[in-house]
Each structure stands twice: as structure tokens, then as C-alpha cells.
A = this chain, B = another copy of it.
Amino acid sequence: METRERIMVEALDLFAERGYGETSLREIAERIGITKAAVYYHFKTKDDILNGLLDSMGQQIDAIIEWGNDQPRTPETRLEVVRRYAAKIREGAKVMRFLHENQTALRHIDAGARFRERMGRLHVLLIGETPDLAERLRALAAILTMHAGWMLREEHASSDKEMSDAILELASKLVTDKI
């Protein structure tokens, strides 16, 4: 694996495990067996590593949102958005868990702020034309469930598929008024 990629892998691991602000470039470098200076060759700043990390996932989420924006605002559309979003999360579970559990630290970083905007647009996609507060709250609950539901995977689910199905079922009910 190339160094740049290894930095991103180990950085995500440390960011998710210890927190963004609590992780130093020294730790990242040590894990790989290179020096801090070598990290700076591949990334201009620490924030830049985070940017790289969130870039791919961000683009994929944007694609879902774009697709949703072109569809009629029906429960069926909301369902399909949930399906696509849940599938993406399943692929990038670690990134999403990191984003979910480090909101405060990310608020003042460009990449984090962009993620928050994205979540806002996703939220809008998951509500009807004239939503009441209850509907907005259900949409939020659906997003939170998709983000954090995988917490239960190890202890309470026997397979990824079982976990994924359970998450998708609950999120779907939440955005289609079946509650």
C-alpha cells in the first residue's frame, strides 16, 4: 500500500478511536513507522488528511442528495433515499461512526462543516413538502439510527446483513409515517 493511503487508513483509525483533536501527527507517523515530516510530504496540514478522508464519502452522499432533489417529494422517494444512504453507510461504517461521534470537533473544520450541511440537505429530502415538527423529528431519528445503529453490530447482531436489514427497516418506517 502506498504511504499516502496508509496515512489515511491509520489516521481514520486513530481519529475514530481517540478523537480528531486528541490524535497527533506524531502518533499517526509512529503507527506507520515513518516520521512526522514524512506525513507533511503527503499532506499539507492535519485538516488536509481529514479532507482526504471525507472526500470520497462526501461525493457519494452528494450524489444521493442530487438524485433525490430531482425526484418528486413522495414517501417512495424518501424510502429510496434511505435505502441508498443506508447502503453507503454500510460501506463506510467507520467514517460515518467517526463523523457521528465527533460532531463538535468537526464543526470548526471545513470538511466537518461541509458534512453538517450535507446532513441538513439530507434531512430536507426525508421530509414532506409541509412537514410538522413530528415529521422532522422522525427524519432526524432515521438519520441518527442509520449513523449509530451499527454500534449494536458486534454484541447484538449475528451478521452484517441482519444488522443492515434491521437498520433499514426502522429508518424506512420512520420516514414513511408508519409510526
* Residues of chain A at the chain B interface (Cβ within 8 Å): 15-22, 98, 101-105, 107-108, 133-134, 136-138, 140-141, 144-145, 148-149, 151-152, 156-157, 162-163, 166-167, 169-170, 173-174, 178-179
Contacts and interface: CB of A to CB of B under 8 A. Distances in A.
**Majority SS at the chain A contact face:** helix
7 contacts: A17-B104, A17-B107, A18-B105, A19-B21, A19-B102, A101-B102, A133-B157
Contacts of A19: 19-21, 102, 104-105, 107
Contact of A21 (B22, B107, B141, B145): B22
Given A133-B156, A141-B144, A108 B18 contact: yes
